[in-house]
Amino acid sequence: MDNKDIKTKPKLANDGLAEHEKALFCDARPQSYKPLGKYVEKFLNWARANSLWILGYGTGCGAIELRPLMTARFDMFRWGLAPRPTPRQAGVFVIGGYMSVKTLKRVIRSYEQMQGPKFVIGLGSCTINGGMYWDSYNTINRVDHYLPVDIYITGCMPRPEALIAGFNKLKELIKEGKTDGQNEYANNFDWYKANQKKIVKDWNMPDYNW
């Protein structure tokens, strides 16, 4: 426990939970990851970049574009990408297109359950500025206000080739050590949480799920 935040900042209130549920959930804040030595970290980044496991959670219409990637024509396994059924085993969260408020709640919950190091890919123009749903009553406009997004792939929808390019770019960034979303989330936790709670009005889950 050499993490500064854990000692200085207060524990999470978990206000959304009922009184009898509070004991069931953890009230600790997320910890930021302290990099190991330079060369160890370089090796680890190489390893991380070559085994990107995707959380198979289709959050929007972009999930359609992930399916062709698995098929023989595009064959994403060539790049070490593999879909996983649960957030516990996944390292990459692909936000597939538009995100409604209802989805956002599940996405936050899944993202926080993923083990670090974790990366987020925003897929399609809806994740960037709302896309064609920019003035909708139920679609959020910018994903990076709620989750730390490492890379955006533009298009409506992007072709599988664009997706592959995006994944390869992500791999480059990981190898250079520039994907720091996990620490960003942990360090700016209060800001992210305030944004999330502004949107998700019936917050009935713990403040940090893991």
Contact positions vs other proteins (CB under 8 A):
100-102, 105, 128-130, 134-142, 145, 195, 198-202
Given the complex with other proteins, which of 141 and 187 has the nearer CB atom?
141
Q: How near is the Cβ of 145 to other proteins at its closest, in Å? A: 5
Q: Which letter does DSSP use for residue 52 in this model? A: E
**Nearer residue to other proteins within complex by CB, 100 or 187:** 100
The Cα-based distances of 187 to 95, 96, 122, 143, 182 in angstroms read: 22, 26, 21, 18, 9
187 vs 195, which CB is nearer to other proteins? Answer: 195
Spatial distance between the Cα atoms of 37 and 160, rounded to a whole number of angstroms: 36
Query: Alpha-carbon Rg of the chain, whole angstroms?
Result: 17
- Nearest residue (CB) to other proteins, 82 versus 199: 199
CB of 82 to other proteins, least distance (A): 32
H or E element that contains 165:
helix 160-175
Closest distance of CB 167 from other proteins, Å: 24
